[in-house]
Structure 1
Amino acid sequence: MRSRRVAASLAVGVSVALFASACGGGGGDSAGGAGGDGAATTISVYSTEPENPLVPSNTNEVGGGRVIDALFSYLVGYEAEDAAPYNDVAESIETTDSQNYTITLKDWTFHDGTPVTSSSFVDAWNFAAYGPNAQQNSSFFSQIQGFADVNPTDPDGESGPAEAPAPAAETMSGLQVVDDKTFTVALTAPFSVFPTTLGYSAFAPLPESFFTDQAAFEAAPIGNGPFRYVDRQPGANITVETWADFPGERKPQVGGVEFRSYASPEAGYADLVAGNLDYMEQLPPSALVGRLFEQDLAGRNSNTTYLGMNTIAFPIYDPKYADPRVRVALSMAIDRQAVSDQVYDGLRDPAAGIVPPGLDGYVDGQCGENCTYNPDRAKQLLAEAGFTGPIELTSNADGAGNQEVFQAFCISITNATGLECNFVPVPTFAEFRTTINAREATTPFRTGWSADYPSIENFLNPLYRTGASANDGEYSNPQVDALLAQGDAAPSPDAAFGFYQEAERLILQDMPTIPTFYSNTQAGWSPRMSTATTNQFRELDLITAAVSE
């Protein structure tokens, strides 16, 4: 299923353009048809309130990510059908050794009419990496030479009392502007996956105005993507409109998008059924029971897989969950198939690892018995660890199906171990993430990961490397770090697989997060939508989205 375009394009010792230029649209499950008068129409999309202002380098959650992806175009894009990468803003990405890259840009502008130049990328990346700016995606730049100078290591981690030393530099030595259309990137070691990563929002360019007035940018973001910012009503919606001067080869078929926040997934679903909401990428469990959605949304629904994982993370910095035996025991206490049958009508596949199927290098069954329902072994491990409970699980309440599935997890844990388990919801995603980012969580919490780019590396480094940007539980294992570094430095993606696979096995022995389900999604759309394609990142493909009116 997964394209091997990147690996096939790279030849060490020969300068090559790594990706082809942008070509036709994506595929996947869709409503089919053409857009008619849709270019003048704004469509509404179910969303959640973003955690932070809409700055690409500080956005790593779904609610903000949807909007960022509409506002910005990146060096690399991904096909909707299979996430295969292609050059977007980049004219070419060339290397001879997988460590030193030369990037050439196409003619492109920002929404304010100013040009997208090499400095637009270099300055944005340096801002993202600079430690005092505290950007959540800073670690995505850690392989660029000079990152350690701008983002020195905190001696006792983010939650410790000591402060990180002052940076020795303000910019990374590995980034150099050659001219307005060309810049070079020098990495600390070969990283063959690097070109594939460049379609993630952390690597977006920023206009000069961001650096002169960041507050004004946050109030009205200026991007270079197919849609430009119009308005935001906190807690209600964010509206963008199609940018008439968009220089990309593929143009939107609708006039704009309203990213609409709801108090609950059920409220959004009710609007969807009534035709008052145009698209919802994940239907609530109440619609899945008995596959009710197939009746409610006859002819306007889909059931597709995508590159994502559902997990439960532990605050390993809390002594209660520092013992891996406790974490493994709780994994063994969850009957994944029974929960899927009860909550999702069997539409979720139990996870047996932390890398989803569909990616090159995926290995089935990596978790082994640690992800197999075994009440007796769970009780034995808890007794050995001296763990007596009670147990609380937490999640945001405004996410589709979170309450139902976490209540089911707790019932399974109690039935398996005899310990009291309760679900304690947090009202909104923003509140939920604020606690996690502050390292103030005291209970296991819902986590999930949708691919930023199509590589198994993306399901390991950002989540489980020591100090990584999305390592919410502060997991650390020097052996895992070493294996990940070896995988990063391998001469090709295929050569890296063995290191990444071994790292995954070690992580699953420590169980810093419990894999619960591989990701697939049941999406729905309104009767007026003539094309509604869910891409491999569980987002509506806004380029091909079209309406019939």
Structure 2
Amino acid sequence: MRLLALLAALALAVTGCSGSDSARPGVLTVGIREPATLLPADLADQAGRLVTGALWTPLADYDAVSGKVTPRAAESITSADRVHWTVKLRPATFHDGTPVTAQSYVDTWKAVAEAHWVSSPVLTKLLRAKEITATAPDTLSIVLDRPSGQVPALLSAPGLVPLPSSVLASRDWNGFAKAPVGNGPYRLDGPWKPGSGGTLKRVGAGQAAEIELRVGEPAAQYDEVKAGTLDLAAEVPGEKHEAMHGDFGNRHASWALPEAAYLVFPVQNPQFADATVRHGFALGVDRAALEAGPLAHQADPAKALLPPVNAPGERAGTCRPCSFDAAAGKALLKQAAFPGGTTVYFGPGAETWTRELVVGLHKALDVSVTASPKAGQPDGPSTLDVKLATASPYELLSELATAAGYTDDVFRQNLALADAAATPEEAGELYRLVENQLLRDLPVAPLWSGHGHAVWSARVHDVTATPFTGPVLAGIGLS
């Protein structure tokens, strides 16, 4: 027995293997939560976006801050009048070997628009095309109902990637989500195994030859990366937030997520018709307490109306309604003769942090505030947790105004002008005007925006992240 043990130890020393398969040459191991789905047009969770970000290549990447568009599956996205748009495609194939054509996009977008998936409003409410046709195998023609410069930003949405003809014919969306076929740098090797994960094989431009995706809980995965038995954990739990810096040094990253939360005021309700009242409530919110408490360090206190994921240009000035100033908030409510007492309503998934928000408002403003599930049209303020499908500011600004019933003519005109702007610089200036008007009138008060965290082992390098994919799996290298 001693001889066998000695031989095993010698073999271990020679191979350099620690008993973990995380150090296999060319194989990247990644810990994630169970994705809600792998159907790209119906995604709203970090894990699903991370996986589909490797399985599909979008038409372009869009940076809202700079307004820069980087073509990817598209060779170009152009227009002479911002009404008639032309998209030229690069040659590509799906993982099943069939070609990706302009008709692939036409048929996919028709299915998305009809299915009422998460990304459906990108086509029906934001793009608003009168006609989308394939004028050649590699050419898409899009005719809008008005001039819009936001088309490249909208077409960059990860939910608008193409689907192969097989699933468009069968409409077996559930079956497809278990064994998705994309056009990206990696393909799924066999069906996805719920509760376990799946393996991605490189078929395009990617550093790792293979990526093993393991489903589990973030706390356990964090410890596995620390122990060297997992290469990367795509989520860091709140209780590890402080330890992360000491445990991993510079081997961690955070990035803005496409989500933000707001306190929406019913501006048509006489009780909240006065902007002074709305500003008073905004100043009574202790955002830092929410971040450190029920949000478990998975969010940043709002510093502006637009979150980082779709804030154009450089910010100027501070966001006074984003501040916590209980004394000033109480003074404003007194000035407006606020009658004292309201209910704050919440939707699914927001109960815990909304109740904490309500407790804080009561303490800070010395008014009666209660919390209740949202049902029908709320007669008081409500919390709104927005999940964005694009990086365009137009999506969020229009949704916030609709949620509050805010119908100011100047706001609507400037928002339409920003949508129609010919250049990113012009659009950015107009969006800032719109944002500043909302901060002045305050139909909605910004609360927080989400962010993601990842940690990785010493053999991992070149980790970058984007709002809609998190860590870019194709770009991660191994030593």
Q: 1:347 to 1:55 in 2, by over 3 A?
A: closer
Q: Which runs of 5+ in 2 are unaligned?
A: 1-21
Structure 2 CA distance for aligned equivalents of residues 438 and 62 of structure 1: 29
Structure 2 CA distance for aligned equivalents of residues 320 and 266 of structure 1: 47
Q: 1:143 to 1:459 in 2, by over 3 A?
A: closer
- What's the counterpart of residue 179 of structure 1? 136
Q: 1:418 to 1:93 in 2, by over 3 A?
A: same
- Find the partner of 1:285 among 217, 225, 238: 238
Q: 1:280 to 1:509 in 2, by over 3 A?
A: farther
Q: Is the 8 A contact 1:393 1:444 kept in 2?
A: yes
- What's the counterpart of residue 169 of structure 1? none
- Find the partner of 1:477 among 392, 407, 413: 407
Report the secondary structure of 2:87's partner residue.
strand
Indicate whether 1:141 and 2:100 are aligned. Answer: no
- Find the partner of 1:251 among 206, 214, 234: 206
Report the secondary structure of 1:174's partner residue.
strand
Q: 1:109 to 1:345 in 2, by over 3 A?
A: closer
Report the structure number with the largest CA radius of gyration. Answer: 2
- What's the counterpart of residue 432 of structure 2? 501
Partner amino acid, structure 2, of 1:311: A
Greater percentage in helix: 2
Tell me how far 1:137 sits from its aligned partner: 1.9
- What's the counterpart of residue 341 of structure 2? 388
Tell me how far 1:192 sits from its aligned partner: 1.9
Structure 2 CA distance for aligned equivalents of residues 143 and 411 of structure 1: 37
Structure 2 CA distance for aligned equivalents of residues 384 and 242 of structure 1: 65
Q: Is the 8 A contact 1:395 1:446 kept in 2?
A: no
- What's the counterpart of residue 183 of structure 2? 224
Structure 2 CA distance for aligned equivalents of residues 261 and 511 of structure 1: 41
Using structure 1 for the length normalisation, give the TM-score.
0.68
Tell me how far 1:142 sits from its aligned partner: 4.0
Q: Is the 8 A contact 2:343 2:381 kept in 1?
A: no
Residues 273-312 of structure 1 aligned to structure 2 (within 5 Å): 273-288=226-241, 291-302=242-253, 304=254, 306=256, 310-312=260-262
Report the secondary structure of 1:354's partner residue.
coil
Percent identity for Structure 1 against Structure 2: 22
Indicate whether 1:67 and 2:51 are aligned. Answer: yes
Residues 260-409 of structure 1 aligned to structure 2 (within 5 Å): 260-262=215-217, 265-288=218-241, 291-302=242-253, 304=254, 306=256, 310-314=260-264, 328-337=279-288, 348=300, 350-356=302-308, 359-365=311-317, 367-368=319-320, 370-379=321-330, 381=333, 384-389=337-342, 396=349, 409=357
Count, aligned residues: 449
Structure 2 CA distance for aligned equivalents of residues 476 and 97 of structure 1: 30
- What's the counterpart of residue 199 of structure 1? 156
- What's the counterpart of residue 364 of structure 2? 416
Partner amino acid, structure 2, of 1:464: L
Partner amino acid, structure 2, of 1:106: R
- What's the counterpart of residue 464 of structure 1? 400
Partner amino acid, structure 2, of 1:361: G
Residues 159-174 of structure 1 aligned to structure 2 (within 5 Å): 173-174=130-131
Q: Is the 8 A contact 2:266 2:381 kept in 1?
A: no
- What's the counterpart of residue 105 of structure 1? 89
Q: Is the 8 A contact 1:75 1:89 kept in 2?
A: yes
Tell me how far 1:386 sits from its aligned partner: 3.9
Report the secondary structure of 1:413's partner residue.
helix
Structure 2 CA distance for aligned equivalents of residues 449 and 417 of structure 1: 30
Bigger shift: 344-353 or 176-185?
344-353
Q: Which runs of 5+ in 1 are unaligned?
A: 1-34, 148-171, 425-434, 467-472
Q: 1:184 to 1:233 in 2, by over 3 A?
A: same
Structure 1 CA distance for aligned equivalents of residues 387 and 234 of structure 2: 15
Q: 1:534 to 1:201 in 2, by over 3 A?
A: closer
Q: Is the 8 A contact 2:40 2:158 kept in 1?
A: yes
Report the secondary structure of 1:460's partner residue.
helix
- The two structures, once aligned, show a CA RMSD in angstroms of 4.3
- What's the counterpart of residue 113 of structure 2? 129
Q: 1:330 to 1:309 in 2, by over 3 A?
A: farther
**Cα deviation digits, residues 342-376 of structure 1 (max 9, x gap):** 888999565132243995434334643x2222324
Tell me how far 1:116 sits from its aligned partner: 0.4
Report the secondary structure of 1:256's partner residue.
strand
Partner amino acid, structure 2, of 1:207: P
Structure 1 CA distance for aligned equivalents of residues 170 and 151 of structure 2: 31
Q: 1:266 to 1:509 in 2, by over 3 A?
A: farther
Q: 1:419 to 1:381 in 2, by over 3 A?
A: closer
Bigger shift: 386-395 or 58-67?
386-395
